[in-house]
Structure 1
Amino acid sequence: MSSKDERNLTQVVEKISKMDEPRRSLMQQVHEIIVTAAPMLKPRIWYGMPAYATSASTPALVTLRNDDRLNLAITEKAAFRAAGGVDGELMPAAWFFETVDEATAQRIAEIVRSVVD
């Protein structure tokens, strides 16, 4: 890991550590899911949010938001595919969560992997 990647990771971990509980624990859990599911993505701060990109100099593909609700989002820089089925041509890009159970963790990992496939 390059020194810039290490600094960026430190910034993301610090950003998450400053959140109030229980959000801090949830965001830490989602951060771990993301870096495990797609180890090629590099954590960084993107517009003040924890985010994940293919390198320190490329736009973020996935972001975590700590607003009124916790949010996992795919940025407009990721390749999108229509959802199909009942969602037709809609392209899902954001998911709110309040807890992370096993099924949610698996879905987060699938979403993140789909961004880098």
Structure 2
Amino acid sequence: MASVFTAEERAAMKEHAQELRKPRKGKTDATRDVLARIAEMLPEDRALGERIHAIVTASVPELEPKLWYGMPAYARNGKLICFFQSAQKFNARYATLGFSDQANLDDGAMWPSAFALTTLTAADEARISDLVKRAAG
């Protein structure tokens, strides 16, 4: 029987299992891991990942960088708030900035929890900063 998961999905699950087995790291080591993962990305994704990391860490410095399924992510008290998924991660046509259910972005009965990214303008960066601040509550 063929696998239900793609090779990329299986790799992400293996990465997550490894992340869970590793001892908890301090913020400096975790930041180093996140920046190393961003450095491994293709140039387009790397540029977006670097900007997202800078925006998130400047907007809410108390968020803890971490790897989540091999992706750069940011948490508060161990609970994931947001993450950056490169386009190459799952062979997608665009990168994604996503928010978990822990993010305080509720707006009525329906709201976006992920945003497609192809480039970032100054206005986009300001919007991301606002979203991250709201998400972190």
Q: Structure 1 segments of 4 or more deviating over 2 A? A: 77-80
Q: Which residue of 2 aligns with 1:50?
A: 72
3-state SS in 2 of match to 1:106: helix
* Number of residue equivalences: 108
Specify the alignment match of 1:21 in structure 2. 43
Superposed, which structure 2 residues align to 1:2-81 within 5 Å? 4-55=26-77, 58-67=78-87, 68=92, 69-81=94-106
Matches within 5 A, 1:76-95: 76-82=101-107, 84=108, 89-95=109-115
Structure 2 unaligned segments of length 5 or more: list them.
1-24
Q: What TM-score comes out, normalization by structure 2 length?
A: 0.74
Higher Cα Rg, which structure: 2
* CA deviations over 1:17-37 (Å, ceiling 9, x no partner): 000112211210111011001
Question: Distance in 1 between the 2:47 and 2:110 partners?
Answer: 31
| Structure-1 residue corresponding to 2:136 | 116
Give the fraction of aligned pairs with identical amino acids, expressed as a percent.
26
Q: Is the 8 A contact 2:71 2:85 kept in 1?
A: yes
Deviation at 1:6, TM superposition (A): 1.0
Q: In the TM superposition, what is the alpha-carbon distance from 1:110 to its structure 2 partner?
A: 0.6
* TM-score (ref. length: structure 1): 0.85
d(CA) in 2 for partners of 1:116, 1:71: 18
Letter aligned with residue 92 of structure 1:
P
Q: Of Structure 1 and Structure 2, which has the larger fraction of its residues in helix?
A: 2
